[in-house]
Amino acid sequence: MEQAPVTHVWSGRATVDGVPDIPGIELAGAYYRDVVGPLVLARRPGLPHAAARLGSGSDVLGLDDAMSRDHDWGLRLTLLVPGDAVADVDAFLEAELPARYAGLPVRFPTSWQPQVRHQVEVAEPHDFVASRTGLDTRTELTVADWLSVTGQAMLEVTAGAVFTDTAGTLTEIRERLAWYPDDLWRYLLAADWARLTQELPFVGRTGSRGDETGAAVITARLVDVAMHLGFLLDRAWPPYPKWRGTLFAALPHNAPVGPALTRAVTAQVWREREAALVEALAALSARQRDLGLPTPDVAIENFWDRPFRSLVSHDGPLRESIIDPAVLALPPEVGSVEQWVGNVAVLTDPARRRRVAGAIAPQPTEDDGN
């Protein structure tokens, strides 16, 4: 016999089509406390576990709204348990969860899983992290490991809310993946500065030939790199493009960089684009200096004898400050996978990302004795 729906009193909460108008994170927390947690612990008392809202979805970043509800939004939860409990807990929840909670269906299809079933993702903690990042957090992470991750993949593990973590494993993993090792951070900063140096003068050169469309395209490329650099300087994982501008605007040190970058992409003529870019890059250079990182005294210079602007080298001093031999061995001006690959099919596939990263920093191989 089907269980009666579990209900929750959402006092004073507005509704949309009879459903409480609440953020997905808040919904997931209530779903765990009212339904999933009691069921699982009744089945397996004392089970070490973590419950969180992790993975994909705008609600993981706290950015869901009414439009988010048209697909892949709803009663989603990440439940991390020991490996030998995964199959049992998943099957038990499918059999015992109620039909609805808070006016929403408990079982529904998603864009990656057409089957109608519950959307509590039950997994072993390290296996879950590997499915998102491609990293084996049971081992020491290599330089190639770090180069293979994207900011979005890391946010899918580190950004969402954790409702409980009785074993502490998830908390430990999130702390470990909070940010890059220091020397690798410097290497990635240097790569972004190199990318900006390579193309900044082209805004003026292209525009001066009357190609404002070409100048606008180059400007947009540079704005994206500058935003990535801003995330790096604030030690914040950058999301994928849909949410990059939104989260960039929320960075603690966004001003005056953000407004200048906005002017760069909205300007109609190349001189205004170049001036806005120069303002933003000078501010990013000052931010780097404030962090105590190697930074030239002057950020901007002329490009040869031409009436265009260029960057004074920022990447050289940063690379010279690196001491880790594995990072020093990396090719300059390349960076991580997300700094030199723009293909979505690669960036969203951990296995492909790892193959690409291996081309940047080949994994050491054991001596076979031959």
- pLDDT tens column, 120-167: 999 999 999 999 999 999 999 999 999 999 999 999 999 999 999 999
Burial of 318 (0-12, 13-18, 19+ CB in 10 A): buried
- Quick one: pLDDT at residue 71? 84
The answer to whether 338 touches 150, Cβ cutoff 8 Å, is yes
Give pLDDT tens digits for 219-241: 999 999 999 999 999 999 999 99
Phi, psi angles (nearest 5°) of residue 167? -90, -20
Among 317, 261, 307, 316, residue whose Cα is nearest residue 284 = 261
- Quick one: pLDDT at residue 253? 92
Distance separating alpha carbons of residues 335 and 360, to the nearest angstrom? 8
What DSSP string runs through 46-101? Answer: T---EEE--SSSGGGGT---GGGGGSS-SSEEEEE--GGGHHHHHHHHHHHS-SEE
pLDDT band at 66; cut points 50, 70, 90: confident
pLDDT band at 67; cut points 50, 70, 90: confident
Contacts 24+ apart (CB under 8 A), 9-18: 10/102, 15/103, 16/66, 16/69, 18/103
Judge whether residue 3 has pLDDT over 90. no
Domain boundaries, the chain: 15-176, 182-330
Give pLDDT tens digits for 287-321: 999 999 999 999 999 988 898 999 999 999 999 99
